[in-house]
Copies of this chain bind each other. A is one copy, B any other.
Amino acid sequence: MSDNHPKTVREIRINPIVPTESVLVATARGMRPRKAEERVARDDRVHVETCPFCRGNEDKTPPAIAHWPSEKDWEIRMVENLYPVLGSDPGDGNVNFGLQQAIEGYGRHEVMIDHHHHGIRLHEMSEAHIAMLFGAYRERMEQLYASDNRLKYVLVFKNYGLAAGGSIPHTHSQIIATPVVPQNVHDEVENSHRHHQKYGQCIFCTLIDEALSYEATIYDRKSGEIKRKIDVGQYVIERSEHFVAIKPFASRYEWEVHILPLEHAPDFLQVTPELLADFAGVLKRTMARLDAVLEGAQYNYFIHSQPHGESFADCGKSYHWHLEICPRTTIPTGFELGSGLFVSTISPEDAAAKLRDVRLEL
């Protein structure tokens, strides 16, 4: 175990899928004295009279789009966003002048009330509920893609906590359908496609292989001393029959964890209820670990999946859907803004060990 003991790491780690999303790991900086982080008082109320997302206040939201399992006694409820960032009303069209280009903000913006319980945290939801929630995401994504071929991508995401930009306390997610494939998805899809063309392998499958079945010792060329040891499973946080949760070797957010299907699967829309039941357990346990280590995780998560539309039809073998969970524990500074390089003061190895060490009581 002594080889795994956290030591000072100071290196720039390149994200193998999107090299532009690299990270500077600088653990000595973690020794810097910090004021105790402001703990966010937990709002664990079941029902809040004034909350438009609570049961009984359905008339305070825009009309519902759908309910799960049913309108009466809904557990999950989907409504239009009162202040959408993209809309279906006719706009100015595209505008171009000089070097400037603007694409009309056509699209959809909807809100998923994740649970009728106002203050419930994700890992406190039942596995059946989490599976229903991701089933609801899947259903709505499918409907949106089918409804309008101007919608090129449907992004599902969740903001939990003020540090993650979550301004409404009742637990909820959002679905935004965009008129172009967003840059981050485009980069992943394009780079993994190029990797597949070169090597005939899905890069995500290779990374899963690496996480599950790779052990290495790297020696110093001159002295012969051990420079680094990579243990089997060192980056694995959770694993089930069909899914794995990985702390990436290179990731921008210190506690970032990705959940991927073990079997190659490009499109979240193809996920089955059986797979989602299995996925729900991995997500629940992963969130419980993050919440325990961070003493109340504030986080974003989002689903990345193969874009629909002809231009991406040939990416089925190269892309691999996944959920990215990004706990928000630091504020990017002028260094991040100016360089594009995020700083992580906890080594991913240490973060993974801490997450695995949590004793779950679920």
Write the residues of chain A forming the contact surface with B, with a CB cutoff of 8 angstroms: 9-14, 16, 19-20, 22, 24-26, 28-29, 31-32, 34, 82-87, 91-93, 95, 97-105, 155, 157-159, 162-167, 174, 176, 178-180, 182-185, 187, 203, 206-207, 210, 214, 216, 218, 220, 227-228, 230, 249-250, 300-304, 324, 326, 328, 330-341, 343
Whole-angstrom distance from the CB of A95 to the nearest CB of chain B? 6
CA separation between A331 and B165, bound complex, in Å? Answer: 5
- The residues of B that contact A206 with a CB separation of less than 8 Å are 98-99
Residue of B103, B249, B301, B340 near A182 (CB, 8 A) is: B340
Give the residue of B82, B83, B249 whose beta carbon is less than 8 angstroms from that of A100: B249
B338 touches A100 (CB 8 A): no
> Helix, strand, loop or mixed for chain A's interface?
mixed
The 6 A-B residue pairs whose C-beta atoms are closest, nearest first, are: A157-B334, A302-B338, A182-B339, A10-B105, A165-B333, A300-B334
B22, A339: Cβ atoms closer than 8 Å: no
Does the CB pair B324–A91 fall under 8 Å?
no
B97, B103, B210, B340: the one within 8 Å of A99 (CB)? B210
Besides the known contacts A24-B86, A102-B250, 18 further A-B residue pairs in the complex with CB atoms under 8 A apart: A12-B180, A16-B99, A25-B102, A28-B84, A32-B83, A34-B167, A95-B228, A99-B207, A157-B335, A157-B337, A163-B331, A178-B339, A182-B339, A184-B338, A185-B338, A187-B340, A300-B334, A324-B338
What distance in Å separates the Cβ of A174 from its nearest Cβ neighbour in chain B? 7
For this complex, 15 residue pairs linking A to B, each with C-beta atoms less than 8 Å apart, are: A10-B104, A11-B104, A16-B100, A20-B187, A25-B105, A28-B83, A29-B84, A32-B83, A95-B228, A98-B214, A158-B334, A163-B331, A166-B333, A178-B341, A302-B338
